[in-house]
Structure 1
Amino acid sequence: MQIPTDIPKPQNNSPIDPSSPLELIIFIALPILLIVVYFVNRKRVRNKRKKK
């Protein structure tokens, strides 16, 4: 049984390249932005519930 070569394996993955702007946006900026938006939205929903 042969294993296809296009399946990602831990030993053939490359680390994040800090000189690549796309990788910085995808792996660093986007998760931080999502966390901030989550907490801002959560605070907004709580404040709306208190006003009612």
Structure 2
Amino acid sequence: MQIPKNQSNAPIDPSSPVELIVFIALPILLIVVYFVARKKRKNNN
């Protein structure tokens, strides 16, 4: 039986456009969409 070892996870590479989109732009976009949808729902009620 083998003992699990820690994985060596690399930090986010700011020169990679894919990582910037996935880890920075997408979460910000989701937060903005959430608040806009919440405001629209509140105004409709």
Q: TM-score, normalised by structure 1?
A: 0.78
How far apart, CA to CA, are the structure 1 residues paired with 2:23 and 2:11? 11
Structure 2: segments with no counterpart, 5+ residues: none
Q: 4+ residue runs of structure 1 moved beyond 3 angstroms?
A: none
Larger Rg: 1
Cα deviations by residue, 1:11-51 (Å, 9 ceiling, x for unpaired): x00000000000000000000000000000000000000xx
Structure 1: segments with no counterpart, 5+ residues: none
1:42 aligns with 2:38: yes
Q: How many residues align?
A: 45
Specify which structure has the bigger relative contact order, considering alpha-carbon pairs within 8 angstroms and separated by 6 or more residues. Answer: 2
Q: TM-score, normalised by structure 2?
A: 0.89
